[in-house]
Amino acid sequence: MTDDLTLRAETTDDLVLRAEATGDEAAIRAVTAAAFGKPEEADLVEALRRDPAWIPALSRVAVTGGRVVAHALLTRCHVGETPALALGPVAVLPEMQREGLGTLVVEDALREARERGASAVVVLGHPTYYPRFGFTTASRHGIGVAFDVPDEALMALSLDGAPLPSGTMRYAPPFGV
């Protein structure tokens, strides 16, 4: 889905969407901490880097002016016994929010996951933001979590058009749930 905000970001001459590279860690931490206004989400990204759930190619950044300005992360999870991906955290520098960079970096992460043969992605996030990527309420597909969340905040997406697996979603241990 493309809107005026996305078009503005896409036309930035030096915008690059790519996998996280060695040396990006501190910048990703800074973007994530600034976006969330606290260090816990940045700590989570660092813990995930050390976990088997980490997939280097699915840690995606937007770089402009030579600096990382946005980050989206997909890590391994399970829905029931079926392997899937968890989206999050997604972060954009506060001064660059609402310019379409979040949309671009999430679309890039989902594209890369699709190209690598992933089939299902689950996200716990804002129910008015993630449907733009095709996410729908996870409970419609028989997907839930073992902790309390608003039904509309847990969403799922099929990357290959196949039916989504059903069952309880299990995050990687660093998520702490």
**Cβ atoms 169, 145 nearer than 8 A:** yes
Whether 5 shows a pLDDT value over 50: the answer reads no
Q: Peptide bond preceding 52: is omega within 30 degrees of 0, i.e. cis?
A: no
124-130: average pLDDT: 96
**Cβ atoms 59, 104 nearer than 8 A:** no
CB atoms within 10 A of CB 152: 13
Using a pLDDT cut of 90, give the percent of the chain over it. 91
Q: Which residue, among 65, 59, 52, has the nearest Cα to 28 in the 3D structure?
A: 59
pLDDT at 159: 97
Whether 173 shows a pLDDT value over 70: the answer reads yes
Q: What is the CATH number of domain 15-175?
A: 3.40.630.30
Residue 30 confidence class, pLDDT cut points 50, 70, 90: very high
5-32: average pLDDT: 80
Task: Give the pairing of strands 82-92 and 120-124.
Answer: parallel
Q: Where are the domains of the chain?
A: 15-175
Whether 124 shows a pLDDT value over 60: the answer reads yes
**Average pLDDT value for the chain:** 93
pLDDT at 1: 35
Residue 12 confidence class, pLDDT cut points 50, 70, 90: low
Q: Tens digits of per-residue pLDDT, 85-100?
A: 999 999 999 999 999 9
Q: Peptide bond preceding 89: is omega within 30 degrees of 0, i.e. cis?
A: yes
57-71: average pLDDT: 97
